[in-house]
């Protein structure tokens, strides 16, 4: 009789029968281990949550009162003889790969990850395992990131230029991850950083969690347009084209996303500037990360799974596609521009304040 695998892919999420827990389940379960706080990984409605301690305040802010246990990276939790430990995924602050071990068999669930050190999330750490469950949002060879310092040089000089030309500067990125990464890499000699309420809420949650972020000022009814114009505004994708954004006119608006690597995708966004900046691994990053695990088998959960698995098999890996709901609508670049698409179901809407972007990917 074939041995039952330690982790299985079910219609609720990734399941460990031996340990009786799920990883990033999308339907309500008793026991959930969460890789990170993005909406397509951390759903509402589970009875118990386990996550990294730096995800705590954001999870509480996004999901309301939940029964949450947090751990440090490297710390081990036992569930029915199965040991669970978290390792940095480098995706956003508090994001983790989940290592699951039972009787010497090791599985790792990557959640979402990037290999470049962004200077704010704990850097990605490869974990040896037999089975690796990986994302591949940007699993096409056309996606190759430049070092982030180059992109931030572009962003900072664009900002300076806008100030010289009397334009307000609006930079768009997801509220958890991208927004803080931008914030920490802006040249504050240029001016002050203003934030959209949704982003400031996330910043405050992170600060409550002890994360030290550069100073920001929430935009309110009282904010003076002339002052804001001299600074930079960090806004979520859902604010693009809204009256909220239009009141800063004239402005130049930049969009930060991995999808910006493709000219057509950039033109579709109709952003003034598209900056290639992603919290996911690029093509080479994915391959090197998978290689570093030394795994026997890699399972691809979301992204260009068909193409990427075919290629991995050709170069000697044992790769297969699995069906999950990660990436949600946002796995498709087509659904990014408005940032309004919510695949995350009703439970989310009950908890989140109006206008929250449910954003995870990019």
Tokens representing residue 254 in the block:
């930049």
Neighbours of 128 (CB within 10 A): 12
Tokens representing residue 294 in the block:
């030394």
Q: Is 142 in the site for other proteins (CB under 8 A)?
A: yes
Q: Is 329 in the site for other proteins (CB under 8 A)?
A: yes
Among 125, 204, 217, 272, binds other proteins (CB under 8 A): 272
Q: Is 321 in the site for other proteins (CB under 8 A)?
A: no
Tokens representing residue 196 in the block:
């959209």
Cα Rg of the chain (Å, integer):
20
- DSSP code at position 212: -
Q: How far is the CB of 263 from other proteins (least distance, A)?
A: 6
Among 7, 140, 176, 300, binds other proteins (CB under 8 A): 140
Among 147, 270, 294, 313, binds other proteins (CB under 8 A): 270
Q: Is 311 in the site for other proteins (CB under 8 A)?
A: yes
Q: How far is the CB of 105 from other proteins (least distance, A)?
A: 32
Between β-strands 82-88 and 96-102, what pairing exists: parallel, antiparallel or unpaired?
antiparallel
Cα-based distances in Å from 119 to 91, 92, 146, 252, 355: 11, 10, 15, 26, 29
Q: How far is the CB of 311 from other proteins (least distance, A)?
A: 6
Q: CA–CA separation, 107 vs 41, rounded Å?
A: 18
Q: Please choose, from the candidates 139, 129, 115, the residue with its C-alpha nearest in 3D space to the C-alpha of residue 311.
A: 139
Q: How far is the CB of 192 from other proteins (least distance, A)?
A: 25
Residues 6+ apart with CB under 8 A from 270: none
Among 225, 246, 267, 320, binds other proteins (CB under 8 A): 267
Q: How far is the CB of 252 from other proteins (least distance, A)?
A: 8
Q: CA–CA separation, 189 vs 125, rounded Å?
A: 33
Q: Is 188 in the site for other proteins (CB under 8 A)?
A: no
User: Beta partners for 254?
Assistant: 171, 273
Q: CA–CA separation, 51 vs 288, rounded Å?
A: 26
Q: Is 264 in the site for other proteins (CB under 8 A)?
A: yes
Q: Is 246 in the site for other proteins (CB under 8 A)?
A: no
Considering CB under 8 A, how many residues would be counted as binding other proteins?
29
Among 21, 26, 304, 317, binds other proteins (CB under 8 A): 304
Q: How far is the CB of 317 from other proteins (least distance, A)?
A: 15
Q: Is 350 in the site for other proteins (CB under 8 A)?
A: no
Summarize as ranges the residues that interact with other proteins (CB under 8 A).
140-142, 144, 261-268, 270-273, 304, 307, 310-311, 314, 329, 332-335, 337-338, 341
């Amino acid at each position: 009789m074939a041995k039952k695998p330690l982790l299985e892919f079910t219609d609720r999420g990734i399941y460990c029968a031996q340990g009786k827990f799920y990883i990033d389940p999308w339907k309500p379960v008793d026991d959930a281990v969460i890789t990170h706080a993005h909406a397509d990984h951390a759903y509402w409605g589970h009875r118990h949550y386990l996550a990294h301690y730096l995800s705590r305040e954001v999870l509480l802010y996004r999901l309301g009162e939940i029964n949450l246990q947090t751990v440090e990276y490297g710390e081990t939790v036992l569930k029915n003889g199965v040991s669970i430990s978290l390792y940095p995924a480098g995706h956003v602050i508090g994001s983790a790969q989940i290592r699951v071990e039972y009787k010497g068999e090791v599985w790792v669930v990557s959640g979402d990850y990037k290999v470049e050190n962004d200077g704010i999330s704990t850097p990605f750490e490869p974990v040896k395992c037999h089975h690796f469950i990986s994302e591949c949002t940007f699993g096409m060879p056309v996606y190759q990131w430049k070092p982030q310092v180059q992109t931030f040089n572009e962003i900072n000089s664009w900002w300076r230029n806008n100030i010289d030309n009397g334009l307000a500067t609006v930079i768009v990125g997801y509220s958890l991850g991208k927004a803080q990464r931008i914030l920490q890499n802006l040249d504050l000699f240029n001016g002050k950083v203003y934030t959209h309420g949704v982003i400031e809420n996330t910043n405050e949650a992170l600060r409550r969690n002890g994360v030290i972020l550069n100073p920001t000022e929430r935009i309110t009814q009282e904010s003076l347009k002339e002052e804001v114009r001299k600074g930079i505004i960090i806004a979520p994708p859902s604010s693009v084209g809204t009256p909220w954004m239009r009141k800063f006119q004239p402005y130049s608006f930049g969009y930060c996303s991995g999808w910006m690597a493709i000219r057509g995708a950039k033109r579709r966004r109709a952003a003034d500037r598209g900056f290639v900046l992603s919290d996911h691994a690029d093509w080479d990053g994915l391959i090197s990360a998978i290689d570093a695990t030394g795994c026997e088998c890699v399972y691809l959960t979301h992204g260009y799974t068909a193409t990427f698995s075919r290629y991995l098999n050709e170069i000697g890996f044992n790769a297969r596609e699995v069906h999950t709901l990660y990436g949600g609508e946002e796995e498709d670049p087509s659904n990014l521009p408005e940032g309004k698409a919510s695949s995350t179901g009703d439970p989310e809407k009950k908890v989140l304040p109006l206008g929250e972007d449910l954003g995870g990917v990019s």
